[in-house]
Amino acid sequence: MSISSSKMPEKTINGAIFIFKHTIVTRIMHGLHLISMVMLILTGFYIYSPTVFRIFPSMDSARYVHFIFMYIIGWTMIYKIYYSIVSGEIKELVFRWRDLLELPNLFKYYLYGIFTGAPKKDYGKYNPGQRMIYSLWPILLLIQGITGIAMYFTARWAQFNNIFGGLQNIKFIHFILCWIFAITVIAHIYLGSTGPKIMDFYKSVITGWEKHVAKKSS
């Protein structure tokens, strides 16, 4: 999660270099995605099993909240894709086939190297693992949207549901994807703690400025 591009604004405070990484639009979109995803996962688990996940007062309220955040994440995701294309940020976010080759090294670093003080490779704005997840999420969300609509309009979507073996299977796909979101979001939260200090990357996605340890001049 380091930046090699010198085009981004920099400032130095008390010997630490801060690089401007996330624009205001990116930060607002991120905040909305974060809240929406947490709420969709929580309400989703309640809808799946209201007796086990007793976190909402009733099914009606959980469904209501699920639908509100589904609209928020859906429309903001569309806007985010449009914004990324127009601003050119898409180049930094999208997964490239050559990133596949880097994944073993990246996993090795995050599972082992990071604990032994191995140097962190500079991949540019986002590393191949981030690119993979950031490209995967909109695709998974599209599938969640389609399976969600199919669950809602059961009569109109009966033919579609039957192609996948019935409504039960559609619910199953929606539920498994919910878990994939939950696991990848937890990994994303953990990786956010791997900056120079635990809070540095979290602060960056709120303030826009990412802290870097200044290299000692030899």
Residues that bind ligand HEM (CB under 6 A): 1, 21-22, 26, 30, 33-34, 37, 40-41, 44-45, 47-48, 63, 66, 70, 73-74, 93, 126, 134, 137, 141, 144-145, 148-149, 151-152, 171, 174-175, 178, 181, 185, 188-189, 192, 201-202, 204-205
Residue number with CB closer to ligand HEM (31 or 217): 31
Residue number with CB closer to ligand HEM (74 or 216): 74
Residue number with CB closer to ligand HEM (66 or 212): 66
Q: Both tokens of residue 51?
A: 């007796």
Sequence-separated contacts (24+) of 119-124 with Cβ below 8 Å: 120/2, 122/2, 122/4, 123/2, 124/3, 124/4, 124/5, 124/92
**Minimal distance, residue 38 CB to ligand HEM, in Å:** 6
3-state percent helix, strand, coil for the chain, nearest multiple of 5: 65, 5, 30
Q: Both tokens of residue 44?
A: 């989703």
How far apart CA 203 and CA 182 sit, in angstroms, is 22
**Minimal distance, residue 217 CB to ligand HEM, in Å:** 26
Q: Please report, for residues 23, 24, 127, the alpha-carbon distance to residue 99 in angstroms, rounded to integers and kept in the order given.
A: 25, 28, 8
Residue number with CB closer to ligand HEM (128 or 148): 148
**Minimal distance, residue 116 CB to ligand HEM, in Å:** 22
